[in-house]
Amino acid sequence: MPSHNSSKDASPEDVPFLVTDPELIPSRRYYDEKFFELERERLWPKVWQMACRLEEIPQPGDWVEYRNLDKSVIVTRTREGVKAFNNACRHRGVQLVTGRGNSGSQGFICPFHGWRFAPDGKNTFVYAREIFSEDKLTPDQVDLVPVRVEEWAGCAFINFDENAAPLLESLGPVVQRLNSRNVDRLKVDWWESAVLPVNWKLAMEAFMEGYHVMRTHPQLHLLAAPGLGWQSDNVGPSGPKGTKARIQSAQDYACNTIRYLARLHAGMAGMVDAFEVNVAETLHDMELPEGDFGAMAQAFYGRLNQEITDMGRRRGLPMFDLNQVAMEQKFNAVEYMFPHFFLLPMFSAMSSYRIRPLTPETCLFEIWALKLCPESEERPVPVAPTPRAHDDPGFPEIPRQDYSNLPLQQLGLHAGGFDHMILSKQYEGLISNYQRLIDGYLGGTAPDKLARAAHVVNSGYDAPIADIGF
Ligand code: FES
Ligand SMILES: [Fe+2]
């Protein structure tokens, strides 16, 4: 696969708007055309991209198109497993498929002159073969060009780079954290998307820190109970002072937390499943130790985890032991996987995001609600949604609140005198870490260094600024 620029001829000197102070992010990275072009040339062709949910292609012959910028890939299930191909007829380059479908008994047929390709990419038909020079029709010249594809977490990931490390090696320790939560058993409950009038990186950054919760999601901030690490993280460094003042007793703590989980379910749907809210409600009168919020949280969540685990198993879900996982793995309410994929675990369910650039100042943001389902349950094949406007009232409350700031931020970045963002080194470090990893790709940093850096970058939100190794 030819690439415009190999990393050999790239150097940090020719990357514009480089992050030179990890706490300051230059504003032009979010709209400069040259920067966007460099990402197209040097970042996207080198990274593992989440291309589809495997449930989109349940049967042999099923295919789905994955498009990012000017590249389109066919991801298809064959009897030998999932394969991916560049979406271009080898004759004169016509794109073979758009959207989704099943290649059926005929395989892929080019709409221009009718060349055909089997589901495994082999060319099976050239109309009037004798009119071509035979030496131009060897399999390596007429079979579809394969693209690397690997599966994990119920998704197919593609990579255009033959030399990239395998997917799981590229992702790093986040894989183990999510595997312990049976991430590959999750199924799509719903799928929505929005075109956002902002750079793709700006959209992602709205989900990389909990510092915004106090102002952007006041309904959550008011209910978030203190005492549990992730919960105080969840509301940022100031902590939920208002809540602390209002919680007078262990009973208040339980009520408040149940209301918080219900609000999270209503506002985000995917993160907390309805059955989990129901289980929480049964703990209304649970006895909790008085006084110490940490002890209350531990007692409440310990019991809630146990009850959800038991209920999940009774319902036939491929349920893991929530308390065991809580003991063995670090919990991150938002897990980021460079460059454009997120999973947000809570109890048994997760939300998931994928963000793709469209233009320097627009992007496509997708949200999935994922949940564990009984293996025997027939599930509908998820179909890509028509993107909504960012302010569509049909979005759940929480992402709508997150989206609402973004267009204003994109405009503000253009303002005279605004040269860079200022990051909290303690809580907004993920933004700095992944932005510096992008610089590594654009500036030609050695692949082994990039791989090591990704393991540091692929952390939960609210991470501090980290040494990523270059
Ligand atoms: S371009 Fe596909 S058959 Fe001619
Ligand atoms: Fe948010």
Provide the pLDDT for residue 232.
44
Tell me the domain boundaries of the chain: 50-159
Shortest-distance Cα residue to atom 3 of ligand 1? 113
Nearest alpha-carbon partner for 25 in 261, 205, 225, 243? 205
Which ligand lies nearest the alpha carbon of 207?
2
CA 70-76-77 angle, to 5 degrees, is 165
Q: What are the backbone angles phi and psi of residue 151, rounded to the nearest 5°? A: -115, 140
Provide the pLDDT for residue 227.
53
Burial bucket for residue 21 (CB in 10 Å: 0-12, 13-18, 19+): exposed
Shortest-distance Cα residue to atom 1 of ligand 1? 92
DSSP summary character for residue 334: S
Q: What are the backbone angles phi and psi of residue 363, rounded to the nearest 5°? A: -150, 165
Strands 100-102, 81-86: pairing kind: unpaired
Atom of ligand 1 nearest to the CA of 110: 2
Provide the pLDDT for residue 69.
98
Strands 116-117, 108-109: pairing kind: antiparallel
Cα(360)–Cα(425) distance, rounded to whole angstroms? 27
Cβ neighbour number for residue 231 with a 10 Å cutoff: 21
Q: What is the mean pLDDT of the chain?
A: 92
What distance in angstroms lies between residue 235's CA and the mean position of ligand 2's atoms?
A: 10
Provide the pLDDT for residue 356.
98
275 CB less than 6 Å from ligand 1? no
CA 321-230-331 angle, to 5 degrees, is 40
Element containing residue 456 per DSSP (H, E): helix 447-457
Provide the pLDDT for residue 247.
77
CA 237-255-320 angle, to 5 degrees, is 75
Which ligand lies nearest the alpha carbon of 117?
1
- CA within 13 Å, CB half, 395: 24
Q: What is the DSSP string of 21-76?
A: STTEEEGGGGT-HHHHHHIIIIIGGGS-EEEEEGGGS-STTEEEEEEETTEEEEEE
What distance in angstroms lies between residue 109's CA and the mean position of ligand 1's atoms?
A: 9
Burial bucket for residue 417 (CB in 10 Å: 0-12, 13-18, 19+): exposed
Provide the pLDDT for residue 225.
65
Q: What are the backbone angles phi and psi of residue 110, rounded to the nearest 5°? A: -75, 130
Atom of ligand 1 nearest to the CA of 89: 2
Atom of ligand 1 nearest to the CA of 90: 2
109 CB less than 6 Å from ligand 1? no
Q: What is the CATH number of domain 50-159?
A: 2.102.10.10
What distance in angstroms lies between residue 157's CA and the mean position of ligand 1's atoms?
A: 28
DSSP β-bridge partners for residue 402: none
Whether the CB-CB separation of 55 and 171 falls below 8 Å is answered with: no
Cα(262)–Cα(43) distance, rounded to whole angstroms? 40
Which ligand lies nearest the alpha carbon of 214?
2
Whether the CB-CB separation of 140 and 38 falls below 8 Å is answered with: no
Provide the pLDDT for residue 229.
42
Cα(143)–Cα(316) distance, rounded to whole angstroms? 45
* Chain centre to alpha carbon of residue 168: 15
Provide the pLDDT for residue 231.
43
Please list the pLDDT of the chain residue by residue as tens digits (470 residues): 344 444 457 888 889 999 999 999 999 999 999 999 999 999 999 999 999 999 999 999 999 999 999 999 999 999 999 999 999 999 999 999 999 999 998 899 999 999 999 999 999 999 999 999 999 999 999 999 999 999 999 999 999 999 999 999 999 999 999 999 999 999 999 999 999 999 999 999 999 998 898 889 888 877 776 654 434 444 433 444 456 656 778 888 899 899 999 999 988 878 899 999 999 999 999 999 888 888 888 999 999 999 999 999 999 999 999 999 999 999 999 999 999 999 999 999 999 999 999 999 999 999 999 999 998 999 999 999 999 999 999 888 999 999 999 999 999 999 999 999 999 999 999 999 999 999 999 999 999 999 999 999 999 989 999 999 99
- pTM of the entire structure? 0.94
Cα(163)–Cα(446) distance, rounded to whole angstroms? 12
Q: What is the DSSP string of 144-163?
A: PPEEEEEEETTEEEEES-TT
91 CB less than 6 Å from ligand 1? yes
